[in-house]
Chain A
């Protein structure tokens, strides 16, 4: 079956604009994660969805960031009023279970804020 897909693959935007990033997890995976990776830095956890439980938003860097997930399917990460510091690769991963389950990563969305 298909893996995790993300769109767009690349996004260039102007400072101050809003952007929306999409993640389609593997069908049947209850857990979904969003990460950010700035150039030359390690992965940074953003948010975690597990089934119908309230998401863990503790990694979101500011209130400009928000994410939604419809049931156990697609998720969108929205960044409002983008800043140049938001430039990074945004990675989505899904897992069939919480905790120990292997995470399957998408190819990422490369965001550049000019």
Chain B
């Protein structure tokens, strides 16, 4: 069964600090992995998309890494801001005909001043 697990479930950090969120998956065959940011009461916004051959992808202060061998991904946030407070969701797409998406439960990040 395809699964995506994220850790930690929740995280509190001080403004200006860095943090790293983890995503482990068992989806096979693998097509791509996305990280989304979802503000409370809003729809998710795509941060990065990575395919099998990509190890690192950045989007501003967000840097995602992918290790397809160990089936792990991380999202690193540099110099956090209060506006980074949100849920971060890891979504993995399989490479079957239906391109099914498997969602992680998300990491709820709170950045405090």
Chain A residues close to B by CB (< 8 Å) = 4, 33, 41-45, 48, 56, 58, 91, 93, 98-100, 102-103, 105-108
Interface SS majority for chain A: loop
Chain B residues close to A by CB (< 8 Å) = 31-32, 42-46, 49, 51, 89, 91, 93, 98-106
| Least Cβ–Cβ distance between A60 and chain B, in angstroms | 13
Interface SS majority for chain B: strand
Residues of the B chain whose Cβ atoms lie less than 8 Å from the Cβ of A107: 42-43
Residues of the B chain whose Cβ atoms lie less than 8 Å from the Cβ of A48: 98-99
| Least Cβ–Cβ distance between A6 and chain B, in angstroms | 9
Measured CA separation A99–B89 after assembly (Å): 17
The answer, among B32, B44, B102, for a CB contact under 8 Å with A100, is B32
Contact A100 B49 (CB under 8 A): yes
Residues of the B chain whose Cβ atoms lie less than 8 Å from the Cβ of A103: 46
